[in-house]
Amino acid sequence: MIKAQKIRFAVTPPASALTEAAFEPYLERCEALGFDTLWLSDIPLGTQGDPLLHLTYAAARTRRLKLGANIVPLGRNPLWLAKQLAQLDRLSNGRLLLSFVPGLGTAPERLALGHGQGDRGAELERILTMLRRWWAGEAVTGDCLGAHFEALRLEPRPLQQPLEVWLGGKGPLALERVARAADGWLTSVVKPEEARLARETIERRTAELGRHIDPEHFGISVPVARSAPPEAAVGALRARREDHDLTDIVAVGTAKLRALIAAHLDAGLSKFVLRPSTALDPSVDWRDDLEWMADAVLDLQR
Q: Which residues of the chain have pLDDT under 70?
A: 1-4
* pLDDT per residue as tens digits for the range 116-166: 788 899 999 999 999 999 999 999 999 988 899 999 999 999 999 999 999
Q: Whole-prediction pTM value?
A: 0.94
Given a contact cutoff of 8 angstroms between Cβ atoms, the answer to whether 147 and 78 are in contact is yes
Alpha helices in 41-171 (DSSP H): 51-61, 78-91, 107-112, 120-135
- Non-local (6+) Cβ contacts of 243 within 8 A are none
Q: Where are the alpha helices (DSSP H) in the chain?
A: 23-33, 51-61, 78-91, 107-112, 120-135, 172-181, 192-208, 231-238, 254-266, 286-297
Q: C-alpha angle with apex 118: 74 to 162, nearest 5 degrees?
A: 40
Amino acid (one-letter) located at 52: L
Contact 88, 39 (CB under 8 A): no
Smallest CA-to-CA distance from 267 within 170, 171, 200, 173 is with: 200
- Does the CA dihedral 229-231-232-234 come out positive or negative? positive
In angstroms, how far apart are the furthest CA atoms of the chain? 56
- Report all structural domains of the chain as residue ranges with CATH numbers, in order of start: 1-35+165-302 (3.20.20.30), 41-164 (3.20.20.30)
pLDDT at site 3: 53
**Amino acid, single-letter form, for residue 204:** R
